[in-house]
């Protein structure tokens, strides 16, 4: 599947391609932490690429206006031209980051991620059973951390390394219900000049990859799982670089 300019689900419009070689800004899911990308950042460095780990955790403390807070926080951490590489739930906030960054964002690569969903909340995109369970298990306005959303033993199968698993669990925050019910904004930002791409890691994100393909995005499949950027960082880094090759 190859990328060509086309419409996007968030009003982000492609305007062509770029000649520079920008930094890869690695954006973690709001439900995880930057350690989910750290191994891939190291692998990109070994490939001679420049990357930056974006840390969004502070934005969860704002109490409301989460999408705007994520966008502002990410924009402050990214210096100069950058390809935004967003994993999982971070796909929901890419539009807000683009609005804050303007022309500094040169392309977007969504990695096993939700597509932007302007005007709809995360709960409106989630399976009904999961949404009901999170509401039922929430305490004091906070849903459990993402690792507890998984079936028993699932995280250990994805991350057999105990240290790696403990790091991910330690960084995963309690999730404000207000974040899950906040509609994603409808932004006016013009999209990145280098366009959008999609890297599918797991079968669970097949529908999103198909939607991205239907929109004309360049899409690739990596034979892995949702956290492959932790367990196979070299392979995922190479796939990311390959998706960005036409930006050179």
pLDDT of residue 80: 81
Share of the chain above pLDDT 90, in %: 80
Tokens 């683009």 locate to: 98
Mean per-residue pLDDT, 121-137? 94
Task: Kindly report, residue by residue over 74-89, the tens digit of the pLDDT.
Answer: 999 998 899 999 999 9
Q: Map out the domains of the chain with their CATH numbers.
A: 23-124+177-247 (3.40.50.1820)
Q: Tell whether the model's pLDDT for residue 217 goes beyond 70.
A: yes
The answer to whether 184 and 120 have CB atoms below 8 angstroms apart is yes
pLDDT of residue 247: 74
- For residue 84, which phi and psi values (nearest 5 degrees)? -80, 125
C-alpha–C-alpha distance, residues 84 and 73, integer Å: 14
Task: State pTM to two decimals.
Answer: 0.90
Chain-centre distance for alpha carbon 135: 23
pLDDT of residue 248: 64
pLDDT band for position 190 (cuts 50, 70, 90): low
pLDDT band for position 32 (cuts 50, 70, 90): very high
Rounded mean pLDDT of the chain?
89
Q: Tell whether the model's pLDDT for residue 8 goes beyond 80.
A: no
For residue 147 the two structure tokens come to: 């690792």
Mean per-residue pLDDT, 7-30? 61
Q: Tell whether the model's pLDDT for residue 193 goes beyond 60.
A: yes
The distance in angstroms from the start CA to the end CA of the chain is 19
């Amino acid at each position: 599947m190859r990328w060509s300019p086309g419409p996007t689900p968030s009003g982000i419009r492609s305007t062509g391609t770029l000649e520079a070689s920008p930094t890869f800004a690695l954006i973690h899911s709001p439900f995880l932490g930057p350690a989910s990308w750290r191994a891939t950042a190291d692998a990109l460095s070994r490939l001679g690429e420049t990357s930056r780990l974006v840390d969004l955790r502070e934005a969860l403390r704002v109490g409301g206006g989460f999408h705007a807070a994520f966008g502002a926080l990410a924009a402050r951490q990214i210096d100069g031209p950058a390809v935004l590489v967003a994993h999982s739930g971070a796909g929901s906030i890419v539009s807000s980051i683009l609005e804050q960054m303007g022309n500094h964002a040169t392309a977007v690569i969504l990695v096993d991620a939700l597509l932007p969903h302007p005007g709809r909340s995360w709960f409106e995109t989630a399976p009904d059973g999961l949404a009901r369970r999170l509401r039922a298990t929430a305490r004091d306005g906070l849903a459990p951390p993402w690792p507890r959303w998984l079936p028993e033993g699932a995280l250990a199968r994805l991350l057999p390394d105990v240290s790696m698993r403990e790091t991910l669990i330690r960084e995963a925050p309690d999730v404000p219900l207000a974040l899950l019910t906040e509609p994603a904004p409808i932004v006016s930002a013009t999209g990145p000049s280098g366009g959008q791409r999609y890297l599918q890691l797991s079968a669970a994100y097949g529908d999103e990859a198909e939607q991205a393909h239907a929109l004309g995005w360049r899409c690739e499949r990596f034979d892995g799982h949702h956290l492959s950027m932790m367990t196979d960082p070299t392979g995922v880094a190479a796939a990311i670089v390959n998706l960005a090759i036409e930006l050179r």
